[in-house]
């Protein structure tokens, strides 16, 4: 399709629980990006993929965050043992290729950790 589909739209987890977010990029886009947007609007880059391979993971808090993009499956971002500060909107975006222009963003998943 021509949109980046993120599920679920909202997710509530108790502190210490696992959270898993999904992203289906636009068909034909080979790059996928995950960003975290906190209350002050700032976008924090987490990780990017080129097809199923990690391209840049410099933003990932590796101790609790992991992500995958497997063939023929939505990409996923998983947070083990969530903390209150993980509460944010997580956006996925895709692009056709390196240097190919802007991203197309999904509508985000709002994660609330209580």
Shortest reach from residue 83's CB to other proteins, in Å: 23
Shortest reach from residue 49's CB to other proteins, in Å: 10
Token duo for residue 47: 């990780």
Q: Report the candidate in 45, 5, 43, 10 with the shortest Cα–Cα distance to residue 26.
A: 5
**Going along the chain, which residue ranges are E strands?**
5-7, 10-13, 19-24, 31-37, 43-50, 53-56, 65-68, 75-79, 88-95, 104-105, 109-113
The residue ranges that bind other proteins (CB under 8 A) are 4, 31, 33, 35, 40-43, 45, 48, 50, 55-56, 91, 93, 95, 98-99, 101-108
Shortest reach from residue 80's CB to other proteins, in Å: 24
Rank residues 6 and 82 by Cβ distance to other proteins and give the closer one: 6
Rank residues 20 and 110 by Cβ distance to other proteins and give the closer one: 110
Rank residues 56 and 78 by Cβ distance to other proteins and give the closer one: 56
DSSP-derived secondary structure letter, 85: G
């Amino acid at each position: 399709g021509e949109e980046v589909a993120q599920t679920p739209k909202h997710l509530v987890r108790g502190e210490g629980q696992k959270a898993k977010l999904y992203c289906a990029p636009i068909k034909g886009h080979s790059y996928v990006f995950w960003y975290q947007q906190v209350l002050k609007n700032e976008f924090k880059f987490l990780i990017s993929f080129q097809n199923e391979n990690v391209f840049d993971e410099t933003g990932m808090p590796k101790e609790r965050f992991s992500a995958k993009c497997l063939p023929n499956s939505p990409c996923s971002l998983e947070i083990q043992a969530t903390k209150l500060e993980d509460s944010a909107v997580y956006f996925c975006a895709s692009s056709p290729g390196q240097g190919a222009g802007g991203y197309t963003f999904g509508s985000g998943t709002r994660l609330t950790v209580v």
